[in-house]
Amino acid sequence: MNDAVSNATNNISGTASSATDPQADLVGRVTAAIGDCPSTDTSRVRVVYAGGGIALQGSVGSMDERNMVVNTALGVDGVSAVGDQLLVETLSIHSGE
């Protein structure tokens, strides 16, 4: 991972590495915005600055959560593109029959 991506990588529960770094600032603003998504568990979502845009990595619990997170990230001022690398983890229920 190159230094720019490494320095701009941010876990949803973390903080941006530097307020003076525009990439880290953008990651921080996206992180804060998706953290405010209603009824959405974003604790396993990572926001990464990549090639002039934002990449969302990790997992969410449903397609609705995935859509909410991606659309919220797209709505943040300064975000020109979102790479959706999110996995949707669904709960499988198996009966003993």
| pLDDT tens track for 32-45 | 999 999 888 999 99
Specify the pLDDT at position 58: 96
68 vs 3, higher pLDDT: 68
List for the chain the helix, strand, coil content (%; round to 5): 35, 25, 45
Specify the pLDDT at position 31: 97
4: pLDDT confidence band, cut at 50, 70 and 90?
A: very low
The mean pLDDT of 49-67, rounded to a whole number, is 93
pTM above 0.75, yes or no: no
